[in-house]
A = this chain, B = another copy of it.
Amino acid sequence: MSAAQAGPVLPDGVFSTDPATVDAHRLDRSGWVPEGQPLGVALAESVADVRAVLRHAHATGTPVVVRGAGTGLSGGAGATDGSIVLDLSRMNRITEISAADQLAVVQPGVITADLDRAAGAYGLRYAPDPASAAISTIGGNIATNAGGLRCAKYGVTRDSVLSLDVVLADGDLVTTGHRTVKDVTGYDLTGLFTGSEGTLGVIVGATVKLRPRPARTATLAAYFDDVASAAAAVTAIGAAGVQPAVAELLDAATLAAVEDANGRRPDRPAGAFLLVQTDGPAAEAEAADVHAVLGAHTARVAAAGDEAEGERLLAVRRQALPALERRGRVLIEDVAVPRSRLAEAVEEIQRISQETAVPVFTLAHAADGNLHPIVVVERDRELDEDVWAAADAIFTMALALGGTLTGEHGIGVLKRKWLGADLGERNLALQRRLRAVFDPTGILNPGKAV
């Protein structure tokens, strides 16, 4: 679609072919650079705009790449050659917050942290908290079924979505789900659109659950001699019947990077760091239980006496990614394994890093068995064969442990190669036929996801 072609179907100011605008909408944060150039960017301001774009794209067979804030880490929002980029960031209104129904109705471009903040005025919160929450949109979070730290207790994005307004490939608008907590009327299209990475339809509105904002939060941190002890402690927390709100693990290399960034050289470097938060009415009692459990696995446990101390303990986790980014270009990987295989997975990643001589640092949402192996290369270095060999070994290891390719970032373009190995060919074929039902002409994010 040229700007001239776009004239009749898109309102003034909605469609842009300005090179600077196009350039600002080509990439996500995965590091993946698509070949070629998109036709232009539709900066939709309404459902009507989105429908007009889709009707036009459907009639002309033009690919559409939907985009929230472009913070994705798998290439899902990378603008492929000849596509229209459909940017929803201007549709950023919180339409309603209902304290009685404990839900919010939002447009897709609302920044996730803004929603959480707005819910706070009602004593509520939006629980899913991807690390990108301050910059990513709720629409993007839903399209990728984003995770986060608090998933340990509150589940992933899908667990918070009640209903969606979706513009289909031909421009028709459907609503899935209901404004009810329970709903078994028909198939779970809400769950199907959640995590579909822009391939089944365009999410133009969402009704999401809010939850009571916990009155209390307690924070603990512990240093362990090795990852196996830290992982055993996480399992023991679960066995003690405690559901932590947050349980974050740093491996030795990541912890050393944080210490180094802070100009510290500990006499006795630890083999792993674990941050645990409990929340809710029994936060302190649960934290005391966690403290006892951790104490059986290491002597180095610190419990925050107040919020400021809690923030100091959290800082180690918060500084991990910035500390790695100081060292070079990062590729943030994402695999998930059964919780009981966490230690093996971290140890295998360390072994792979040594064998391939590719530096890999590991952060993990420990209670979920969701690991982020982070590859760090020189700043100007391409992600070359060695990097992908290490990534390949990590994916293969995750599958061998009964895990999966991606816990919360999605397939995008970067993981398509391994999809068949993970899902099996019959499952994958089924998913592709399902995709064709929603998008028979193949205009929605072609070449991405399944």
Contacts and interface: CB of A to CB of B under 8 A. Distances in A.
Interface of A: 98-102, 123, 144-145, 147, 151, 155-156, 158-159, 168, 172, 174-176, 178-189, 191-192, 194-196, 200, 211-215, 235, 238-239, 241-243, 280-282, 285-286, 289, 336-340, 365, 367-370, 402-411, 415, 419, 422-424, 426-428, 430-431, 433-435, 437-438, 449-450
A180 B406 contact: no
Given A285-B281, A426-B172, A185 B241 contact: no
A187 B192 contact: yes
A299 to B, nearest CB: 24
Contacts of A337: 180
Nearest to A234: B100
Contacts of A370: 180-182
Given A181-B368, A192-B192, A438-B430, A419 B186 contact: yes
Contacts of A194: 188
A353 to B, nearest CB: 22
A269 to B, nearest CB: 28
A402 B178 contact: yes
A30 to B, nearest CB: 14
A180 B403 contact: yes
A182 B180 CA distance: 24
A433 B242 CA distance: 44
A158 B411 CA distance: 23
A164 to B, nearest CB: 11
Contact of A182 (B98, B407, B427): B407
A98 B235 CA distance: 11
A450 B188 CA distance: 12
A201 to B, nearest CB: 9
The 7 A-B pairs of least Cβ separation, nearest first, read: A182-B407, A281-B282, A191-B191, A100-B340, A282-B282, A212-B241, A180-B336
- Determine the main DSSP class of A at the interface with B: loop
A312 to B, nearest CB: 26
A280 to B, nearest CB: 7
A424 B174 contact: yes
B419 A180 contact: no
A406 B192 CA distance: 19
Contact of A186 (B123, B212, B238, B423): B423
B404 A185 contact: yes
A52 to B, nearest CB: 18
A417 B169 CA distance: 28
Contacts of A419: 185-186
Q: Which of A100, A238, A282 has the most CB of B within 10 A?
A: A100
A168 B429 CA distance: 13
Nearest to A402: B179
Given A280-B282, A285-B282, A407 B183 contact: yes
Nearest to A436: B437
A337 B185 CA distance: 13
Contacts of A338: 98, 101, 179-180
A91 to B, nearest CB: 21
Contacts of A365: 182
Q: Which of A155, A186, A426 has the most CB of B within 10 A?
A: A186
A186 B339 contact: no
A240 to B, nearest CB: 8
Given A100-B340, A188-B188, A188-B194, 16 more contacts: A100-B239, A174-B424, A180-B337, A180-B368, A180-B407, A182-B365, A182-B370, A185-B415, A185-B422, A186-B427, A187-B192, A189-B430, A211-B243, A241-B281, A281-B285, A434-B437
A338 B196 CA distance: 27
Contacts of A184: 144-145, 147, 156, 195, 406-411
A370 B98 CA distance: 18
A317 to B, nearest CB: 18
A402 to B, nearest CB: 5
A382 B156 CA distance: 46
A338 B213 CA distance: 20
A129 to B, nearest CB: 14
A325 to B, nearest CB: 24
A80 B286 CA distance: 53
